[in-house]
Structure formats: structure tokens, C-alpha cells
Structure 1
């Protein structure tokens, strides 16, 4: 059985993390991943306090296993953060899209662990200096907001950059099966963080069947950068955290506004309203259906437990085969 030091840090059975994919995570998905031996994550971005409270309470009803609650620095909400560290108290608080700064100490002071996602080696070094417990190195293949360096190049560089701190590194971006997990381990990572594969899971009810159909019929080249969205939901921050743009499956809406990206800033309020209304009405598949290039590897919708079992079995078989071939 594949078990890495990350499993001991997070108190999980398998080194598989479900990405927060806010606001599309549900308690059912998070608990299913955790109950299957991985670690589920609740995304707090674009969620109300009442909704987050409900998701946390329901998750705790459905699992006694560890789970994470995620923040994006660009949409940070102080009241929600206070609730998470003082009341919700998940084992892990995670963050992305910015420098977490003093948040790391506040999480540690609450007796919790801090996990941070980065897109560059420089960001990894910054996170290590802040004392984060786990780092996610997210390659440009990923869905949602992501950087410009591929996982194959980024992951081993981040592993090397924080080796002296002995911080476990998780690989993200372009991973959807056991081959991806095996490859991540070969690069020096201690686990994987997956979003798109879990969007295509039976428990991802907020995604909806139309979006899931898009994922399982997509090729990798259908997951494109949404260049105009930074003008609609600005991600720039005082720390110049780096150039990032979201990745999603191609839609008419995306193609139209990618062409008219110069106009997006002046139309930002209207576009923001259109996208947020679409989320509430379950029409994200018509607008910005976030997805990584790993969509090209996904051809079915499965329960989260089956996804994790398949990944672990395939990864173990690949590693056994590699060892056998190396010895022959």
C-alpha cells in the first residue's frame, strides 16, 4: 500500500486530496472523500456564512475523518476565517491565490495545520518561511485560477526548494488517475490534489449533469485559459503574487469575452452578475465551467470512493511494474 509521510501529517490513509473547487463542494463530496481514506476540502470562496456553517455541520455529521476548509486570499473574509479557526476547527486550513502572511500563525495558534497552494518556486519559499505545514505545487494544467509553469517542471523544483524545511509537497494540475499519482511520487511529491476528477463524481451534486457531461466528453485542449476573468474577479494583490488566469472548458460565453477581453473591465459589474447568477441557477456549464486539462483523462462519473480505490490500485500496479521492469 502506498503511504507517504504526508498521510501521517494529515492523519489520512491515502495521499489524495480533493481540491476545494469553491463554491461547488458539498458536504456529501467532502465526507465521501474523507471516509474513503483521502481528505475532502470545503471551499469558502463565494459562500455565505450560513451556507458554510451548514456545509461544515453536515460534513461533521457524515464523517469523523479529517477534512480541510479552504480560503482564497483574494476573496478573504475575516468573519468567516474567525468562525473557521474558533468554531469549525477542521484539522487543516488551506489557502490559495495570495500570500497568507499572519494567517499561518493564527491557524497554528488555534492548534490547526496550514496548507498553502503555490504556482512558483518563489511562492513556495515564501510559504516555507511563514512556517506552513504542507505546500501544494499547482501546475498550469489545473482548472480554476492557475499559473504558467507545468506540473512536470514545477513540482520537483518546489520539492527541492523546501527540502531543508522538510515540508511535504502535494502535486496538483493534470492529475486524474493512478498514473498521475505514481508520476507525482516520482517527482518527489508526497500526494496529489485533484479538482476536476472529483467534479466528475456522483457526490458533486452542485456541478450538475450537464457540466459533468462536458468533462467526460472533453479533450485536454478544450480546457482553455479564461483571459478576461481577471478583470471581472481581480486576483492582483499588493504582494504581486504572480500572473494567474483561470482555466475552464470552452463555452460560447468564454470565447466571446476572450475575444473582447479589452472590454471586460468596463463591463465587469454586469459580467460578474451574470456569472454569479449562473452559479445560483446551476448554469455554470453555460458560462465558466472550471476544469483542468485532466478532463481528457476522465470518461465517467463515479462515486468518490471508487475514484480513490481505482487511483490507488492503478498507482500501486504502475509502481510494481516499474520495479519489475527495472530488475528484469
Structure 2
């Protein structure tokens, strides 16, 4: 445990979310499993369990596993447009999960349901107008992800997006969590200076010894430099930052006609693995089309994504899958435990803050 953290590291986030340190581990599909989430919680941060790639029953088992490993608060991330989102919220409430995290803005009824069950609600946003909207709807916090972040991302850098959001949310009770490009104590201090209350990291937590990702796949990440990612729309039809592997380069070069048969095949594979019925897949596609303003070809490509992620992150075959990654991958060269990572961030940030105050 970090000794004597600087008083400035006790923030609105640590008080509201009841954790020791203003550090969040993001919900990454096939990565943010119980061991990583529990290790983050035990180290004093907020771990987020990723449920978008889990069935309802798998989520129930995962929540139980986290609770067995830690008694600290943790979050569950889910898709606001999932057909069973309300049922998952009910499960989380019964199990005492304290935070509901959403990849997109949840509707007002989901926010109310989560609040009624005693949960804090935190969506991810990528634009100032989105922050304004969800604040009006009554969310408790926002994860503000700049363009440097991995997975689905926008084009505005964190250094420009974050101050816009903190300015527009000033005077509200909405907690701001900065994401995109963070990996150490210097970034935490910078985020606080911009008005944020905490930082969130995905790639940095993926590259820890507590992450379930296989060593061979981690080595691919560690070998990447700061130019080793690409924002592609060929993965699922919308902007997605991933490692610039040979597989992704081939996706970029494939003709439109050639993309869809693979997408259909992978969607059917995911349906079989997840146990999702065909009618549910159609309903989910309709919800995605409406909530994300996707075309039908983009919906089809989005259905392809879970299998492409699984091929690399679970099956350990990066040559046949995609690996979401932030640009920060290029400055990471080690695999600490979550405890070592968070302790190091807090120690470095505390030292900087004391130097600035002297």
C-alpha cells in the first residue's frame, strides 16, 4: 500500500466512489475479467468488469467471482442498447455492485433503475455536448475519453476534450474521469490540473501481470511503438483504435464485397458462443442502428467484432484477430502487478505535487 499519498489525491472521485486512489481500470472485452478487476480493487483503484462479451449467466458468475476475491467496490460495464440491459442492472443491484458503467449514454429509465438500486452511473463520452446531455439526465460521473484511447474513440485529443468537459460540468455534481493517453503519475497530475477527479486506463492495465491476456499477445503489445496503432473503420464500421497488425492492414485493403461474408460468419459464431437467439440479435442490431446512427452494413460489421477480439485476446492468435489499444502502448515496456502499478502512479504523483507546492 502506498504510504502518505498527497492530500490532493483525495478527490471528489475517491470520496464518492469510496476507493483509496483516483485510478480506474476500464472495462475491456475479454480482458477485464474477475482477476484483473479484483486486483485493481485490492490495490485501491476502481476496477470495471466488462460484461458486453458475456452472457447474463456469465456475468452472474463473474460478479460472484469478484466478490469472493475482494470486498472493495467495483463496477460493471454494459451496453446501454443490449436487449437485457435492464435485467443486468437488476442482477447488479441484487449483488451489491456499486457502479454501473456504460459504453454509450444510457436512457433515463436505465439511469433511474440503477439509482433506485443504489448504484452510481458512469457513461463514457467523447464530446462536450454528450457530457452536457448526460449531466442533465442525472449521471454521477463521466469517463471522458480523448482520441488517444483504445477501442471505440473520437478524434479530439484528451488535452482539448478534457478542459472542454470540465468547464461545461463546473458547478455540477458530476465526477470527471479522464481517459486516453494515461499511464503514470505525471498524467494523473496533469488530469487533476485540467479539472478531472481521476484517470482511467485500459492498455496500461491490460499490460499488467494480473491481466488474463496471454504472454505471447502481451509481447505483441510491448513491441509496438507510439506509431503502432491505427484508427480503423474496417473492424466494425465505426472508428476503432487498434494495433496496426498485418491482419488489420489486410482488413483495410479488403474490398467492400469481401468484408461481409466474413462478418456474417463471425456474427453467427458469436451467436453460438454467447447463446444469443437470432431474434435477439436482430433486436440488438436494430437498437445499435438507432442509438449509434449506424447503417445496416455497419451493424453487420459490428456483429463481427466480438469474434475478432476473441481470436487475439482469448485464443492467443493475434494474426487472426484485432487488438484494441491506446497510443500509450508505445511508452509501456513492463508488466507490473496492479498493486505495483497503482502504487507507482500514486507515489510519483505525490512527489510531483509536493515539488510543485514547495
Q: TM-score with structure 1 length normalisation?
A: 0.89
1:5 corresponds to: 12
Is residue 106 from structure 1 mapped to residue 113 from structure 2 by the alignment? yes
Runs of 4+ aligned residues of structure 1 deviating over 4 Å after TM superposition are: 271-274
From 178, 181, 188, the counterpart of 2:188: 181
Task: Please report the RMSD computed on the Cα atoms of aligned residues, expressed in angstroms.
Answer: 1.9
What pairs up with 1:213-224 in 2 under 5 angstroms? 213-224=219-230
- How far did residue 152 of structure 1 move? 0.4
1:254 corresponds to: 248
Q: Is the 8 A contact 2:149 2:179 kept in 1?
A: yes
Deviates more, 1:39-48 or 1:68-77: 68-77
2:340 corresponds to: 306
Is residue 21 from structure 1 mapped to residue 34 from structure 2 by the alignment? no
1:225 corresponds to: 231
Matched residue SS, 1:164: coil
The 1:193–1:4 alpha-carbon spacing in structure 2 relative to 1, beyond 3 Å, is same
The 1:277–1:162 alpha-carbon spacing in structure 2 relative to 1, beyond 3 Å, is closer
Q: Is the 8 A contact 1:134 1:169 kept in 2?
A: yes
- Structure 1 distance, partners of 2:353, 2:222, is 27
- Structure 2 distance, partners of 1:200, 1:157, is 30
- How far did residue 228 of structure 1 move? 0.7
- How far did residue 276 of structure 1 move? 6.1
Q: TM-score with structure 2 length normalisation?
A: 0.82
* Paired positions, count: 311
- Structure 2 distance, partners of 1:86, 1:99, is 16
The 1:73–1:179 alpha-carbon spacing in structure 2 relative to 1, beyond 3 Å, is same
Matched residue SS, 1:123: helix
From 139, 142, 148, the counterpart of 2:146: 139
The 1:82–1:68 alpha-carbon spacing in structure 2 relative to 1, beyond 3 Å, is closer
From 166, 184, 191, the counterpart of 2:198: 191
- Structure 1 distance, partners of 2:176, 2:89, is 27
Matched residue SS, 2:101: strand
Q: Is the 8 A contact 2:10 2:21 kept in 1?
A: yes
- Structure 1 distance, partners of 2:193, 2:103, is 25
The 1:76–1:89 alpha-carbon spacing in structure 2 relative to 1, beyond 3 Å, is farther
Q: Is the 8 A contact 2:32 2:50 kept in 1?
A: yes
- Structure 1 distance, partners of 2:188, 2:336, is 18
2:39 corresponds to: 32
Structure 1: give runs of 5+ residues left out of the alignment.
Answer: 232-243
2:3 corresponds to: none
The 1:99–1:197 alpha-carbon spacing in structure 2 relative to 1, beyond 3 Å, is same
Deviates more, 1:67-76 or 1:135-144: 67-76
- Structure 2 distance, partners of 1:71, 1:6, is 21
